[in-house]
């Protein structure tokens, strides 16, 4: 689609104008390459005059480096994903890499775009809250392409991943809500394809059962505010209304608050408790004030970046599944357990 006149200045143009070989131009721009000071100066002067810039693309053919790391995200409307991308991008820049962005638009199956990702010759791949099929897992291993899943894990242990302890988080939230005197809990799920939603639900359900409380009601919010609002409306019109809602992420919990507080006029923290998962920045806003499970995003990003770095340095590195420790933070959207536990306190070891 480029117009016929649009053409970047190439090393050929510089070589011709400076009266040297293309190889001399290349050496003039390569750190430590063998070239006389006079030739180097002449090349740099002509290059500056013509507006020549050594291209990453040309260099990457020589040294097989693209300086690009692919990041796959399932859309950016959830602040957890945009915060992860923001943070990853910042830390990868400090290492000299730039982010080639693959945004999937509310999907989490990467298969349809993996062929294209691999053709871009990224140096590594980070999948945020997205899965990798066994086919492409194997292909990436054959290519020696470093891959880390962030906030998602594969069933097989051949892919490196960083998650927080979703099972423990779900269990702690169940215990907290039951101890706060709630009688009928409900769970609002993300997508069934997501291991994170499944693990949070499993931990929640097991602890409810262990404590002898009635099984939780259930509906699905598909990770979005709008669907979570619909799920909340359905749950709140059941014959036996839930008095506590645990939503598999914060965005859905905000959707639930929109319905029970904004639409129904209930008082969150006394009439009903709403609990999320993630601790996105807005969870702590006084207007939202959401009790939630803190996923340690900064730590998760740091670990992801350091695992990518290890794999880039040693492509025989064994895959590792890291599970970080989260914690419950109690704010105004939920009843507290008793006098000894105030608002805005954390409760790490239930």
Can you say whether residue 189 is alpha, beta or left, with left for phi > 0 and alpha for psi between -120 and 50 degrees? Answer: beta
Which segment (31-39, 147-155, 187-195, 261-269) binds a second copy by CB under 8 A?
Answer: 261-269
Among 213, 217, 266, 312, binds a second copy (CB under 8 A): 312
Among 32, 239, 286, 339, binds a second copy (CB under 8 A): 286
Report the nearest approach of a second copy to the CB of residue 308 (Å).
10
Contact 40, 28 (CB under 8 A): yes
User: What is d(CA 248, CA 127) in angstroms, rounded to the nearest whole number?
Assistant: 20
Between 209 and 281, whose beta carbon lies closer to a second copy? 281
Cβ neighbours for 44, distance < 8 A, ≥ 6 positions apart: 28
Q: Is 300 in the site for a second copy (CB under 8 A)?
A: no
Cα three-residue angle 181-183-188, rounded to 5 degrees: 110
Per CB under 8 A, contacts with a second copy among 97-126 are 98-103, 105, 115-116, 118-121, 123
Between 49 and 210, whose beta carbon lies closer to a second copy? 49
Among 86, 111, 192, 344, binds a second copy (CB under 8 A): 86
Alpha-helical regions (H) of 51-155: 56-63, 79-94, 111-119, 134-143
Report the nearest approach of a second copy to the CB of residue 257 (Å).
6
Contact 170, 232 (CB under 8 A): no
Report the nearest approach of a second copy to the CB of residue 230 (Å).
14
User: What is d(CA 272, CA 243) in angstroms, rounded to the nearest whole number?
Assistant: 5
User: What is d(CA 350, CA 347) in angstroms, rounded to the nearest whole number?
Assistant: 7
The answer to whether the Cα torsion of 335, 341, 344, 349 is positive or negative is: negative
Report the nearest approach of a second copy to the CB of residue 183 (Å).
26
Report the nearest approach of a second copy to the CB of residue 345 (Å).
18
Per CB under 8 A, contacts with a second copy among 190-229 are 225
Between 86 and 210, whose beta carbon lies closer to a second copy? 86
Per CB under 8 A, contacts with a second copy among 41-80 are 51, 53-58, 60-61, 64-68, 75-77, 79
């Amino acid at each position: 689609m480029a117009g016929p006149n649009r053409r970047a200045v190439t090393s050929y143009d510089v070589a011709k104008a400076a009266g040297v070989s293309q190889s001399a131009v290349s050496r003039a721009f390569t750190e430590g390459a063998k070239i006389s000071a006079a030739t180097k100066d002449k090349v740099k002067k002509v290059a500056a005059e013509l507006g020549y810039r050594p291209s990453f693309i040309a260099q990457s053919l020589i040294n097989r480096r693209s300086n690009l790391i692919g990041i796959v995200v399932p859309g950016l409307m959830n602040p957890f994903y945009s915060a992860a991308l923001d943070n990853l991008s910042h830390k990868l820049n400090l290492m000299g890499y730039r982010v080639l962005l693959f945004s999937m638009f509310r999907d989490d199956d990467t298969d349809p775009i993996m062929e294209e990702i691999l053709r871009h010759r990224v140096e590594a791949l980070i999948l945020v809250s997205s899965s990798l099929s066994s086919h492409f897992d194997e292909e990436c291993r054959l290519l020696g392409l470093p891959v880390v899943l962030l906030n998602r894990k594969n069933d097989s242990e051949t892919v490196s991943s960083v998650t927080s302890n979703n099972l423990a988080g779900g269990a702690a939230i169940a215990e907290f809500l039951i101890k706060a005197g709630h009688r009928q809990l409900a769970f609002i799920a993300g997508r069934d394809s997501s291991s994170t939603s499944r693990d949070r639900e499993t931990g929640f359900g097991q602890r409810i059962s262990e404590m002898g409380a009635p099984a939780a009601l259930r509906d699905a919010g598909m990770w979005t505010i709008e669907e979570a609002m619909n799920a909340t409306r359905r749950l709140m019109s059941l014959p036996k209304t839930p008095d506590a809602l645990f939503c598999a992420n914060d965005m859905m919990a905000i959707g639930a608050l929109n319905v029970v507080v904004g639409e129904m006029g209930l008082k969150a923290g006394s009439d009903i408790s709403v609990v999320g998962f993630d601790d996105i920045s807005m969870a702590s806003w006084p207007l939202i004030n959401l009790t939630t499970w803190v996923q340690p995003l900064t730590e998760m990003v740091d670990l992801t970046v350091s695992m990518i770095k290890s794999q880039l340095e040693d492509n025989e590195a064994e895959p590792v599944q890291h599970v970080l420790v989260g914690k419950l933070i109690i704010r105004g959207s939920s009843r507290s357990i008793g006098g000894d536990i105030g608002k805005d306190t954390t409760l790490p070891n239930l």
